[in-house]
Amino acid sequence: MNTIFQYIKRYRLSIIIALMLMFVELAVELTQPLLIRKIIDEGIVVGESHTIWLWGSIMMLLALLAFLAGICNSFFAGYAAQNFAYDLRNALFKKVQSFTMATFLQFPSASLITRLTNDVTQVQQVFFMSLRIMLRAPLVVLGSLIMAFYVDASLAIYLCIGIPVLAVFMYMMVKKSIGNFALVQHKVDRVNRMIQENLQAMRLVKAYLRGLYEVSRFEKVASALKKDTSSALRLMEYIQPILLIVMNIAMLAILWFGAGQIQNGKTNIGDIAAIVNYTMRMTGSFSMFAFIITLFSRAKASATRMEEILLIKDGIEEVVLPTKIEAPYKKGEIVFENVSFKYPQTDRYVLKNISFSCKKGEKIAIMGATGSGKSTLLQLITKFYEVEEGRILVDGVDIKEWNLKNLRQSIGYVPQRSLLFTGTIFDNITWGKTKATKEEVIKATKQAQIYDSIMDFQNGYQTRVGQKGVNLSGGQKQRLSIARAILRKPEFLLFDDSTSALDVKTESALWKALEEEQATMLVVTQKIRTAKGADRIILLEDGVLSAFGTHKELIASSILYKKIAQSQMELGVKGDD
């Protein structure tokens, strides 16, 4: 709770103002019975219409004052609560942005989404409520208790008998229900996840006609949520009746023993009536108590879930490291020295003892069977994952010592699966460099061979792109990703099989156009044709670098390479005759 509390503290001033305004309201409310009595005793009974008018008007004025205080309270309470939520959301989002890829695997995106919206709302609501009404119930209870003792302590003591029992009971309930509500939020995660997955897989679900199957899967998740929510809420429903019983029995005890005292002449009726009255008031506020406890437990569960995120210390990308160099020398070199790698939390080496180097302006093709580690190799250069064995030097400096931001700024990475965002085509291209001019964009799109396609769209650069680029063809997505990368004029270009959906003609034009970029290129590909156009070729076999050299060298030396070449030549031979 402490971490979350800090976000509350920032709005100390408005919280204090809000609470003070609430006290004004409460004070007016409590004085009203007194005023009524005054009107009756000094006005009506005596027959003074003047007093009636006077105190009547005072009462009205006070009511108006309470009203104004209440309205103002809304502004300050709203201000504090909304700002608290705003800060919390932003802090969470900022934290999430600093996660390493490995941390993302621990927190599924659906769960992060719940935490950033649903959980924040939960806590914010409670905060707002407590600034407005929540404190009222405890105050009423306390006030009534004090008054009861003031009237007759020997009777009021019966009210206290129930308190230790209730305190233990409430403590246990809260403890239990915090766990319950955490479970509920976890189920919300699952519902979120299930929907997200279904939306992502919509075409597949439809193609295989699995709508009903998906619904039945969803029903399981949704009914688990229903069940957990019901039982969490139902547990809270025990509170109010039990509070009522204990309080009412205490009141009956007062009546019973009070009767005895009256017999003895120790107490008078007026006192008993007053204490009974105060007890009833207390009891009335207790239903509010049950409500408060529910909200509080819920908020506490959500707060813990948020803290889980905010308190993560490891698994965070250090963007600003004490770096040796801030400005890169732009040498354009990449060197792998005995790099071995396994993904976090697995024990199989995906890359084994890889060493190679490439020079400025060189174009290196990376080939290898499915799952041989090509994508992994590229992702090590962008430092998505930490290398633990061996080292990678970029421009002669170990990437561990690079400032992360500078490193990534000098790399143009085109992922294997094109990831585009909702927005216009223009937004997507300038996504990595928002300040790019129109000319730069046109140049990049021309180089990426997507210019003509864009011009064919009715709205050109302003064409809307759906989430993940659903309304574009496979090749269009890939070329947009390429345009997005080259627009930044990076020192290194990493293409992860980014031309697989391109036809031969388009692809050749692309490579040709990229020649004028002076970038060092690492190109993952399955096509011998593409490899041929590279200066050298890295051949990976099960994570081991099995060959490194030019096309000619590899054809001569590597059996695997020859096999790959043959698998693609076969057709050509036939096609030509």
Partner 1 sequence: MIKSKLRSYIYEPVLTKEDIQSSKKRKGARASDWRKTLGRIWKIVDEQRALLIIILLMVVISSILSLLGPYLIGKIIDDHMIKKDFTGLKSMILVLIFVYIGLSISIFLQNYWMIGIAQQTVYRMRTGLFAKFQRLPIAFFDKRQHGELMSRMTNDMDNISSTLNSTFIQVFSSVITLVGTLVVMFSMSPLLTFLTMLIIPVMFVSTRWITRRTGKLFKTQQQALGSLNGMIEETISGQRVVKAFSQEQRMIDEFANKSSDLRRVGYWANVYSGAIPKTMNLLNNTSFAIVAGVGGILALKGYVSIGTIVVFSEYARQFTRPLNDLSNQFNNVLSAIAGAERVFTIMDEKEEQDQGKGELIREIRGDVTFEDVSFQYNLEEDIATIEHINFHVKKGQTVALVGATGAGKTTIMQLLARFYDPQQGRILIDDCPIQTISRQNLRSQMAFVLQEPFLFEATIKENIRYGRLQATDDDVVNAAKKANAHNFIMSLPNGYDTVLTADGGEISQGQRQLLSIARALVANPAILLLDEATSSIDTVTELEIQEALERLMEGRTSLVIAHRLNTIRKADLILVMEKGKLIESGEREKLIAKKGVFYQMLQQSTL
Return the residues of window 393-432 that contact partner 1 according to CB under 8 A. 404-405, 408-409, 411, 413, 415-417, 419, 421-422, 431-432
The listed partner (Mg ion, ligand ATP, partner 1, none) that binds 162, CB under 5 to 8 Å by sort, is none
Q: Whole-number minimum distance, CB 537 to Mg ion, in Å?
A: 16
The Cα diameter of the chain in Å comes to 125
Q: Which two tokens stand for residue 566?
A: 């043959």
The closest of 178, 181, 148 to 163, measured between CA atoms, is 148
Query: Considering the rule CB under 5 A, would residue 557 count as an interface residue with Mg ion?
Result: no
φ, ψ of residue 457 in degrees (nearest 5): -70, 145
Q: Distance between CA atoms of 374 and 542, rounded to whole angstroms?
A: 10
Q: Are 475 and 500 in contact (CB under 8 A)?
A: no
Q: Distance between CA atoms of 355 and 419, rounded to whole angstroms?
A: 30
φ, ψ of residue 140 in degrees (nearest 5): -60, -45
Quote the Cα angle for 386-499-504, to 5°. Answer: 155
For every residue of 84-100, DSSP letters joined together read HHHHHHHHHHHHHHTB-
- Which of 241, 460, 474, 572 touches ligand ATP by CB under 6 A? 474
Query: Considering the rule CB under 8 A, would residue 19 count as an interface residue with partner 1?
Result: no
- Which of 260, 371, 460, 572 touches ligand ATP by CB under 6 A? 371
- Which of 162, 258, 332, 368 touches ligand ATP by CB under 6 A? 368
Query: Which of residues 282 and 450 has its CB atom nearest to ligand ATP in the complex?
Result: 450
Q: Which of residues 480-539 bind partner 1 (CB under 8 A)?
A: 484, 488, 497, 500-506, 508, 526-529
Query: Considering the rule CB under 5 A, would residue 241 count as an interface residue with Mg ion?
Result: no
Q: Whole-number minimum distance, CB 192 to partner 1, in Å?
A: 6
The closest of 168, 371, 154 to 268, measured between CA atoms, is 154
Query: Considering the rule CB under 6 A, would residue 106 count as an interface residue with ligand ATP?
Result: no
Q: Whole-number minimum distance, CB 498 to Mg ion, in Å?
A: 11
Q: Which of residues 382-441 bind ligand ATP (CB under 6 A)?
A: 416
Q: Are 132 and 73 in contact (CB under 8 A)?
A: yes
* DSSP single-letter state for residue 357: E
Query: Considering the rule CB under 8 A, would residue 191 count as an interface residue with partner 1?
Result: yes
Query: Which of residues 44 and 470 has its CB atom nearest to Mg ion in the complex?
Result: 470
Q: Are 223 and 191 in contact (CB under 8 A)?
A: no
- The one segment of 113-121, 189-197, 391-399, 412-420 that binds Mg ion by CB under 5 A: 412-420
The listed partner (partner 1, ligand ATP, Mg ion, none) that binds 258, CB under 5 to 8 Å by sort, is partner 1
Q: Whole-number minimum distance, CB 485 to Mg ion, in Å?
A: 16
The closest of 140, 178, 145, 137 to 162, measured between CA atoms, is 145
Residue of this chain nearest to ligand ATP (CB atom): 475
- Which of 57, 355, 473, 566 touches Mg ion by CB under 5 A? 473
- The one segment of 73-81, 151-159, 323-331, 392-400 that binds partner 1 by CB under 8 A: 73-81
Q: Are 27 and 136 in contact (CB under 8 A)?
A: no
Query: Considering the rule CB under 6 A, would residue 376 count as an interface residue with ligand ATP?
Result: yes
Q: Cα separations (Å) of 478 from 160, 427, 443, 448, 506?
A: 73, 16, 17, 9, 12
Query: Considering the rule CB under 8 A, would residue 460 count as an interface residue with partner 1?
Result: no
Q: How many C-alpha atoms does 39 have within 13 Å on its Cβ side?
A: 15
The closest of 251, 283, 278, 281 to 148, measured between CA atoms, is 278
- The one segment of 49-57, 92-100, 127-135, 467-475 that binds ligand ATP by CB under 6 A: 467-475
Q: How many residues bind Mg ion (CB under 5 A)?
A: 4
User: Using CB under 5 A as the criterion, which residues of the chain lie in contact with Mg ion when the complex forms?
Assistant: 375, 416, 473-474
User: Using CB under 6 A as the criterion, which residues of the chain lie in contact with ligand ATP when the complex forms?
Assistant: 343, 346, 350, 368, 370-376, 416, 470-476, 501
